[in-house]
Structure 1
Amino acid sequence: MRTHDSVSVLIFNTTSHCFVLVKQFRPAVYMSEWERSKSKPPEPAEQPEGAEGAEAGTAAQPEASKSGEGDGGEKAGDEAVASPGQPPVSVGVTYELCAGLVDKPNLTLEEIARQEVLEECGYDVPVTKLRKITSYRSGVGVTGAMQTMFYAEVSDENCVGEGGGEPQEGELIEVVKVPLHEAMSFAYDEKIPKTMGVIFSFIWFQSNMSPKYKISTNV
C-alpha cells in the first residue's frame, strides 16, 4: 500500500489575534459514529393503550409524557421511525489544522505547506515566514506516514481569497477562527470534535509564543 507523507500548518492571524482552522466532513468519522449509535440499546416501546386494563393505561401515562409534550413529542417520534439509528451529518465534521499531502516531488515541504494555506484558508504566506515546529509519525496503526508541522503568522493583508480547498478534488472546507483567549478551552473541550494536531499545536503556542502577545491562553 502506497502512502504519502503530509504537512500541517498552525496559522495565527496577528491582526485579529485568532487561530485559523479548517472544518470539514470526514466519512470515516461519520461511519465510526454511525456504528457507535447502532451499538446503543434501543429505546423501550410505548405501552399500547388498553392492553392491560385501566390500571395499566394509568401507569403508562407518565412514561408517555417523557417523550414530549403535545405535537412536538409526536413529531419527534415520527422522525425517529423515519431514520432509525442514522446520526446527523454533523457528527462527521471535525476541526483540523490546514494540511495536505506531500505528493508533489518537485516542491519542498515549505512550498507545499504554503500552497495548502493559500488553497484552504486564502492566505498568501511567503515560504520564509513558515517556521517548522516538528515532525512525527501520523496514522501509525494504518499508514505510518510522516507529518511535518509548521507555524505561520498572517495578517488580514495576507488574505487574498476565501479559501475552501479545491472542490474539483472533493474538498469541501470551511475556514473557522478561534480567538487566542479561547484556545485552550477549545482544545480541551471534548464536545468539540478535533484532531490531536489542533490540541498539540495550541499547547506549543502557549509554551513558545503566547508570552510574545502577553495574552493568557489558560483554560
Structure 2
Amino acid sequence: MNKVKDVVIKPLDKSIYLQPHTMHFTQNGLKRTWDLLEVHDSVAILLHNIQRNTLIFVKQFRPPVYYGSIPEEDRKNEIDVNKYPPDLGVTLELCAGLVDKDSSLVQIAKEEVLEECGYDVPLSSLIKIGSYRSGVGTLGSLQTAYYCEVSDEMKVSQGGGVGDEIIDVVEMTVPEVKEYVRQDKLPSPPSFLFAIYWFLLNKVK
C-alpha cells in the first residue's frame, strides 16, 4: 500500500468528484463570500464480527492527509518521500463509499461492504446509526452511518476495493479499539470516532 513515489502537487484542473464554488451572501447587513466544494454525499458502515467480537475497518493512503502532514515550504516541486514517508497519509476508517449512483443508501452501503471488506450482508442487517454533515467549513456533504453485524460465513472475498482502490482490511478487538482512540493524534476522521463511541455506548455491556 505504501509504496508511494513521484509525488507532485499541482493546481486543480478539473474533477468529476469536486466542484469548487464561491458563495456570495449578506449576513446581518454585512456582505460576505465563502469558498466551498460541492462533493457527493456518502455512506459509512461500522462492521462488527460477532463471532470473534472484532470491529472491521479499512486502512488506506489519503492524499489530502499526506498533503496536510507536509510543511508548506516543502510542498513545492516533487515531495521527498524519504523525508515525509507515505505512512503520514495512511488512515484507519470505517468502510465507506460515495453516493454516486441511483440506488438507495442502504443498497450502496451493502455494496461497499462487499467491495471493501468482502462480506455479503443482507440489507436487513444494516442498521442506520444516523446522518450528519462532514467538512462543514468547506464541504457540508451528508454522510449516513450504518452498523452491521457479520459472521465468518458471510465472508466471500478478501475485499480491498475495486478498480484503482488500494485498501487493507483491518480487524481489531474492542480493547484494541479503546486503546486506539486514546491516541493524542488520531489518524482517523471524526465519523470514525462518532461510530466507535456509538458502539461503545450502545453495544458493549
Please give the range of the TM-score, normalised by the shorter of the 2 chains: 0.7 to 0.9
Larger strand proportion, structure 1 or 2?
2
Specify which of 62, 85, 94 is matched with residue 26 of structure 1: 62
The DSSP-based 3-state class of the residue aligned with 1:24 is: strand
Q: Which residue matches 2:50?
A: 14
In the alignment, structure 2 segments of 5+ residues that lack a partner are: 1-18, 20-37
Specify which of 112, 122, 127 is matched with residue 123 of structure 2: 127
Larger helix proportion, structure 1 or 2?
1
Specify which of 82, 105, 109 is matched with residue 105 of structure 2: 109
Letter in structure 1 aligned against 2:192: V
Shift of 1:144: 0.9
Letter in structure 1 aligned against 2:109: A
**Paired residues for 1:188-203 under 5 Å:** 188-203=182-197
Shift of 1:180: 1.3
Q: 2:177 & 2:81 partners in 1: Cα distance? A: 37
Q: 1:182 & 1:84 partners in 2: Cα distance? A: 30
Query: Which structure 1 residue ranges, 4+ long, deviate > 4 Å from structure 2?
Result: 36-39
Q: Which residue matches 1:79?
A: none
* Counterparts in 2 of 1:208 and 1:25: CA distance versus 1, 3 Å: same
* More deviation, 91-100/138-147: 138-147
User: Which string of whole-angstrom CA distances, capped at 9 and with x for unpartnered residues, describes residues 100-125 of structure 1?
Assistant: 000111x1100000000000000011
Q: Which residue matches 1:185?
A: 179
Q: Which residue matches 1:87?
A: 84
Shift of 1:38: 4.7
* More deviation, 175-184/111-120: 175-184
Q: Percent identity?
A: 45
TM-score (norm: length of structure 2): 0.75
Letter in structure 2 aligned against 1:34: I
The DSSP-based 3-state class of the residue aligned with 1:163 is: coil
Of structures 1 and 2, the one with the larger relative CO (CA 8 A, separation 6+) is 1
* Counterparts in 2 of 1:25 and 1:37: CA distance versus 1, 3 Å: farther
Q: Which residue matches 2:202?
A: 208
Number of corresponding residues: 165
Q: 1:143 & 1:192 partners in 2: Cα distance? A: 21
In the alignment, structure 1 segments of 5+ residues that lack a partner are: 40-82, 212-219
CA RMSD of aligned residues (A): 1.9
Specify which of 166, 171, 179 is matched with residue 165 of structure 2: 171
Structure number, greater radius of gyration? 1
Specify which of 92, 96, 99 is matched with residue 99 of structure 1: 96
The DSSP-based 3-state class of the residue aligned with 1:188 is: coil
The DSSP-based 3-state class of the residue aligned with 1:210 is: coil
* Counterparts in 2 of 1:36 and 1:200: CA distance versus 1, 3 Å: farther
Q: 2:72 & 2:56 partners in 1: Cα distance? A: 30
**Paired residues for 1:136-175 under 5 Å:** 136-166=132-162, 168=163, 170-175=164-169
